[in-house]
């Protein structure tokens, strides 16, 4: 019996020229020369906690609750012994606060039991902790330790990297793979910070200010309607 050919269409990989990647990187560097993580932190532990809390939540909202959280639990040892209800009470204004409280306590226990209370500096060790995915680990390694373990792909990075024609993938994992292959390693950390700044200020979801965007001259605006040329 003949085997039927699959009717599922494979996603065609978009060809991205090295020249376009260089132009994007240069333009971002020129317009956003000084960028940094906007989660307020003073050590690796605080950054890890804040990043876990930032899932599906703005940095500004996280920064509103972390001072009280860090005052009560200034290190992994105290957080590992925290009562779930007490942590929930502090972070209840954030989305998914119950799951996040569980992850925070679990993460702290893992750090204490497996790493003597010291935040690990490898991707594998970090992602082995409860509630710590690749994105969170990349944030901590890149921002605090200066280790380019990968490219942080949040909603801004995913959307804008597609608009800029840097990837045609849709999942964060595959988008990160594309960006890691195409970007110079020394740009892995700050590239995300720059796209996030661009996304918050100009390339806003569903209402991008294309005419004001510093990337307009080199952005193919993949998936967006053609701009009007009427004066």
Q: List, as residue ranges, the binding site for [4Fe-4S] cluster.
A: 203, 210, 213, 219
Picking from 119, 134, 139, the residue whose alpha carbon sits closest to that of residue 39 is: 139
- Catalytic center residues: 135, 154
| Residue 23 DSSP class | H
Instruction: Please say whether the beta carbons of 190 and 153 come within 8 A.
Output: no
- Measured at the alpha carbon of residue 9, what is the angle toward residues 8 and 15, in degrees to the nearest 5? 155
The CB-based long-range contact list for 213-221 (8 Å cut-off, 24+ gap) reads: 214/27, 214/30, 214/31, 215/24, 215/27, 215/28, 215/31, 215/164, 218/20, 218/23, 218/24, 218/27, 218/164, 219/163, 219/164, 219/165, 220/163, 220/164, 220/165, 221/163
| Rg of the chain taking only CA atoms, in angstroms | 20
- Measured at the alpha carbon of residue 181, what is the angle toward residues 178 and 182, in degrees to the nearest 5? 85
């Amino acid at each position: 019996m003949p085997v039927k050919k699959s009717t599922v269409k494979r996603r065609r990989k978009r060809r991205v020229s090295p020249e376009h990647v260089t132009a994007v990187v240069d333009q971002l560097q020129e317009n956003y020369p000084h960028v940094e993580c906007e989660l307020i932190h003073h050590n690796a532990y605080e950054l890890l906690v804040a990043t876990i809390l930032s899932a599906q939540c703005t940095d500004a909202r996280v920064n509103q609750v972390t001072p009280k959280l860090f005052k009560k639990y200034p290190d992994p040892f105290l957080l590992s012994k925290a009562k779930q209800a007490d942590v929930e009470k502090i972070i209840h204004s954030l989305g998914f606060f119950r799951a996040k409280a569980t992850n925070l306590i679990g993460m702290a226990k893992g750090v204490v039991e497996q790493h003597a209370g010291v935040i690990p500096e490898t991707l594998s060790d970090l992602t082995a902790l409860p509630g710590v995915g690749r994105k969170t680990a990349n944030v901590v390694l890149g921002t605090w330790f200066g280790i380019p373990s990968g490219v942080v792909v949040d909603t801004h990075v995913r959307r804008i990297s597609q608009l800029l024609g840097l990837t045609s993938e849709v999942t964060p994992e595959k988008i990160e793979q594309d960006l890691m292959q195409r970007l110079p390693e020394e740009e892995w950390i700050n590239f995300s910070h720059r796209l996030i700044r661009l996304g918050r200020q100009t390339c806003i979801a569903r209402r991008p200010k294309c005419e004001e965007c510093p990337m307009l001259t080199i952005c193919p605006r993949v998936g967006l309607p053609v701009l009007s040329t009427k004066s």
